[in-house]
Structure 1
Amino acid sequence: MAGDGSFASKSVPRHVARGVLGFGLLIAAFALLPAFGLVSLVLAPVGLLALRGCPVCWVLGLIETVSRGRLHRECVDGSCQLQRR
């Protein structure tokens, strides 16, 4: 994760590339089980590392990356709402 606690990346293409790599390695880890046995599962942690921990975190990061600069939170009198810029 980025230092500010968000799941977002610097750019959408970079985030998508991480997703392709991460999901590809996770799929390969299980698809290659019949051919290579349990050794193929070493790809799974690398895939999770590319996704920065979990597939759901990656999806949340994609949403944050795409919406960066377009949405902001506005709080008035204890009530917060997302607003478009």
Structure 2
Amino acid sequence: MTDGHEFAGASLSRHLARGVVGFGALIGSFALIPVIGPVSLVLAPVALLAFRGCPTCWLIGLAQTVSMGRLRRSCTDGVCELHVAKRT
């Protein structure tokens, strides 16, 4: 069983840095085709590595990273609710 944060990053700054690298490599791989040709497509795998698979997974991870520690889910009698975590 997982804790529900399969895509979350260790910290927000690391997650955002992976996004900058991923989106930069993805955009660069296509934007540089007219300049250096199809060789620029070697940047596409760099984007996939930075996103750990796909940009959508990265976006889900961003939402999980931001909400981590702030929201708690509790389920009782088959009904699940989302609550703001109490800070101590």
Compute the displacement of 1:24 (Å). 0.3
Find the aligned partners of 2:6 and 2:84 in 1 and give their Cα distance.
19
Find the aligned partners of 2:83 and 2:55 in 1 and give their Cα distance.
27
User: Would you identify which runs of 4 or more consecutive aligned residues in structure 1 move more than 6 Å?
Assistant: none
Which of the pair has more CA radius of gyration?
Answer: 2
**CA deviation string 1:28-73 (max 9, x = no partner):** 0000001111111110011111011111111110111111101111
Give the TM-score normalised by structure 2: 0.88
The equivalent of 1:15 in structure 2 is: 15
Q: Which residues of structure 1 form unaligned runs of 5+?
A: none
The equivalent of 2:48 in structure 1 is: 48
Calculate percent identity across the aligned residue pairs.
Answer: 61
Q: Which residues of structure 2 form unaligned runs of 5+?
A: none
Give the TM-score normalised by structure 1: 0.91
